[in-house]
Amino acid sequence: MASINLIEAFQDFKDAENIDRPTMMRVVEDVFKTLLRKKFGSDENFDVIVNAEKGDLEIIRRRMIVEDGEVIDSNAEIAYSDAVKIEPDFEVGEELYEEIDLYDFGRRAILAAKQTLASRISDLKKNILAKKYADRIGEIISAEVYQVWKKEILLLDEESNELILPKSEQIPQDYFKKGETIRAVVKKVDLKNNNPVIILSRTSPDFLAKLLEIEVPEIFDGLIVIKKIVRDPGERAKVAVESYDDRIDPVGACVGMKGSRIHGIVRELKNENIDVINWTSNIQLLIQRSLTPAKVTTMELEQETKHASVYLKPDQVSLAIGRRGVNIKLACELTGYDIDVFRDTEGEVEEFDIDLEEFSDEIEPWIIEELKRIGCDTARSVLDLTPEELERRTDLERVTIDEIRKVLQAEFEKG
């Protein structure tokens, strides 16, 4: 019999590991039974036999041998005189099995069947890929950078499936090269032109939650629960945790001995500062903890409007606000309250200031120490002094002083 070669189509099945043999057989059978219905009007007396290894198939036609002139349904019955032409030993009442030569369908019909089969396999692959990643939303995966574009990065997983990491889901300090392996969390699965698009994220709170789960066994075991995470990716994050075991300090467990557990996460997040605090249902205490590293003196709450007026010592105000207001913004997100910061002594809104330590990525540590030595520990305290006075009181050169003032002044002009 001249059988049609389907090796390419079957190879597609074999490449998609999740497409099982029964599914393969069902799809192939369905495609060729459609072909049979078009040619013979029915597929009831036909068997489609697939050999996936060789990449071919056979179609067997089953008909009952009846007396000449008694054929009612030519698909189910064959006249005795026609049957003995195929095999002389046949008798009336026996069932005749006959192979159908696929080329009888015509070249065009065979080509259409192959195209339909390839299309069905492609759809199956897409559905399997979409389901696989839909079930993994919120999980961390590792993938290799295949292509870097301006607005997104194309990655390949271990099965060479394409994944997308948009620019908006990258930490601002992220820089990746082709061939590099990176970690991200599966954020969602979109459909674009009927194709599944798997979107990854490194800015999602879920990414930090999963990193903590990997590093902290107590979280993985359910002894410590992450109640809420808020992030300004690459800048700062606040994690509220609660322990279900009174013997376990949740903050200590998450940070680890000398910060051993948190350091790896900080590196992964491009030196993002991570504040881990104890969760509490006492909103006043939660607000106080959320403003870490600042220390709150007193507080006034308006629960109906969800507003908090927080009073701190003057040297704590810049810590509470943080650089570009990141610290207080995250505290508001974590607690669900609008927080205003005031001086403890005067009861007036503190003039916006920034701790010098917040500029450690732009100003070298020894320069910050030199400024602190003369009593300048905030940006405004430096700017309040003239360049001449700074040059006289420190060991810094005038060029360095001018550069420092420019950096500090730019920060206030932003905000």
Identify whether residues 12 and 110 lie together within a single domain: yes
**304 found inside a domain:** no
Residues 179-200: tens digit of each pLDDT: 999 999 999 998 887 788 999 9
How far is Cα 40 from Cα 105, in angstroms, rounded to an integer?
10
Identify whether residues 120 and 79 lie together within a single domain: yes
Taking 50 as the threshold, does the pLDDT of residue 412 lie above it?
A: yes
Return the pLDDT at 159: 85
What DSSP state is assigned to residue 142?
E
Return the pLDDT at 331: 96
CA torsion sign for 156, 161, 162, 166 is: negative
By DSSP bridging, strand 273-278 and strand 236-243 are parallel
**332 found inside a domain:** no
Residues 287-346: tens digit of each pLDDT: 999 998 898 888 999 989 999 999 988 888 888 998 889 999 999 999 999 999 987 765
Which of 11-20, 94-103, 238-247 has the least mean pLDDT? 11-20
Residue 164, beta-bridge partner list: 154, 199
Q: Which two three-digit tokens encode residue 216?
A: 């902290």
Which of 3-7, 232-236, 290-294 has the least mean pLDDT? 3-7
Identify whether residues 128 and 147 lie together within a single domain: no
Helix (H) or strand (E) holding 316: helix 314-321
Confidence at 357, pLDDT banded by 50, 70, 90: confident
**316 found inside a domain:** no
Instruction: Read off the pTM.
Output: 0.64
Identify whether residues 98 and 155 lie together within a single domain: no
How far is Cα 371 from Cα 319, in angstroms, rounded to an integer?
18
295 or 107: which leads in pLDDT = 295
Q: What is the pLDDT averaged over residues 68-94? A: 79
Return the pLDDT at 91: 79
Identify whether residues 19 and 80 lie together within a single domain: yes
**64 found inside a domain:** yes
Identify whether residues 149 and 124 lie together within a single domain: no
Identify whether residues 387 and 405 lie together within a single domain: yes
Taking 80 as the threshold, does the pLDDT of residue 348 lie above it?
A: no
Return the pLDDT at 180: 94
**343 found inside a domain:** no
Q: What is the pLDDT averaged over residues 164-179? A: 94
Q: Which CATH number is 125's domain given?
A: 3.30.1480.10
Instruction: Select from 246, 279, 312 the last residue of a domain.
Output: 279
Q: What is the pLDDT averaged over residues 226-246? A: 94
Q: What is the pLDDT averaged over residues 18-37? A: 72
Domain that holds residue 385: 356-414
One-letter amino acid identity for 340?
A: D
Identify whether residues 144 and 66 lie together within a single domain: no
Residues 212-221: tens digit of each pLDDT: 999 999 999 9
**289 found inside a domain:** no
Taking 50 as the threshold, does the pLDDT of residue 170 lie above it?
A: yes
Return the pLDDT at 95: 81
Return the pLDDT at 226: 96
Q: Which CATH number is 164's domain given?
A: 2.40.50.140
Q: How far is CA 117 from CA 16, 33, 255, in A?
A: 14, 12, 55
What total of structural domains would you count in the chain? Answer: 4
Averaged pLDDT of the chain: 84
Q: 194's torsion region: left (phi>0), alpha (psi -120 to 50) or beta?
A: left
Confidence at 243, pLDDT banded by 50, 70, 90: very high
**338 found inside a domain:** no
Instruction: Select from 149, 178, 203 the last residue of a domain.
Output: 203
Identify whether residues 387 and 409 lie together within a single domain: yes
**303 found inside a domain:** no
